[in-house]
Each structure stands twice: as structure tokens, then as C-alpha cells.
Amino acid sequence: MSTQIHLLDEEEEQEVPGFDAEGFAMQALLSRRTLAAAIDHTLLKPEATQEQVIRLCREAAEYGFACAMVNPTWAALAHAELAGTGIPVGVVVGFPLGASLGTTKREEALALVKIGAHDVDMVINIGLLKSGENQAMLQEIQGVVEVAHEAGAIVKVTLETCLLTVEEKLRASELAIAAGADFIKTSTGFSTSGATPEDVAMMRGVAGGRCGVKASGGIRTLADARRMLEAGANRIGASASVVIVGELKTA
């Protein structure tokens, strides 16, 4: 069964208050440390090794990244490595296709927050979205949000924008926000393409100040990150994080 979700039209998008993209971008780009604080330092390759995950965590602590984002199998290791650093563990749920059962995503999220994950990046069920199953989508996201929030964790809902029409991007954003998402996120980085400034701006237009917007997928340079921040992202997901902050001409 589907349900009606109100979608903001272009005029309404411009009127949604609550987030100063220009101001946030300027603040984030003040120094390497402030930029790092807006980046999820990410390693999600299936072939990633224990040694690489440990290096990721140590870099996250050294640079002060927003979190160290890893696959579920490495969550406990990352939690141990980051203990006492103040850097949270990020994990992915239903990754990368989003086609798992909603109950499976909920149980995966529950298991991960129990072992210390703080940032839970879940992938929506794209087929359900395209089939107009809004209620099922809403319930699936709510299931993950409930267990995460109960544990003091946050949820970023990945839309995989490259596979969606404009209407689907708007509807998915509204559904995620209605379900209690802390962030809406562009991409997994494992599909046909990644984040674009246009998609980020559209998502921020829907979100306003109601939740964060995370740009991820294909962000490899400081110029890429700058474009996403200026478009309205307040979190960046990248595996090239160290390179990106190193390009900033300030300490």
C-alpha cells in the first residue's frame, strides 16, 4: 500500500529556512581541521584488509575526521582502535544495493550499534521507491532510525540519486526526513555515478534545516568537496579524505 507524501515545489524549496550553505562552507574551509570535521573518512571496498582498516582509524584520529566509515565486519575493530579518540565509528547497512528485507536492515543496525557504531548509513530499497510503496519505505527507514536513536546513534539515509528521477529524489528525501533521518545522503559510491552539486542542492532544498545532507561518491579533490559544501552539503563522504584536506592551503 502506498501513501501520499507532500513534495515541495520549486517555490517552496526556496522558502524552506534553516540552513546557511554559504556560511557553513566558509566555516568548513577555514582550516584543515574544520574541513576534516565535515568529512566521513571512508573505506568500503570489499577487499579492504584489517591493516587498511586500522590505518583508516588512525588517520581519522590524527586528522579529526567526522567518523571512520567501515563495512560492518570491521565495526568492532574500528571501535577498539578509536577508543578514547573521540572519533565515532560509521557503518553501512543494507549496502550497497539496499534490497535487503527491512527487518534485516533493522537487525543489522541493532547489532552494529550494540558494538559501538555511531553513524549508521543505510541504503533505501530503490525498487520499493520506484514502485510507489511509500508506506513500506517509510516503515523500513523508521525501523533503522528507532534502534539507532535508542542507542544514541545517528542515521544517514542513502538515496542512490544516480538511479532516481527528479520526482523520486524529492519523494525519497521527504520520506527519509519524515522517518526521522539525521541526514539524507546522495550515493553509495558503488553505482553508476556519485554525488553532483545539483542533487545536493535539490536535497538541501527539501531538507532546509530539518536534517543534514551528505554528499558522497566520486569526491576526490578539494575542488569537488568545495562544490558539494557550497551546494548545501554539511557532510562529505570520501576515501580520498587525506588528499582533500591536504590540498587546503592552510593548517
Task: List the catalytic residues.
Answer: 121, 185, 214
Task: State the amino acid at position 162 in one-letter form.
Answer: C
116 secondary structure, DSSP code: T
- Secondary structure class of 238 (helix, strand, coil): strand
The helix (run of H) or strand (run of E) holding residue 41 is strand 39-43
The helix (run of H) or strand (run of E) holding residue 24 is helix 21-28
User: What CA–CA distance (Å, rounded) separates 142 from 123?
Assistant: 13
Kind of pairing, strands 154-158 and 89-93?
Answer: unpaired
User: What CA–CA distance (Å, rounded) separates 182 from 40?
Assistant: 15
User: What CA–CA distance (Å, rounded) separates 26 from 40?
Assistant: 18
Q: Phi, psi at residue 108, to the nearest 5°? A: -65, -45
3 secondary structure, DSSP code: -
Strands (E), 60-198: 67-70, 89-93, 117-123, 154-158, 183-185
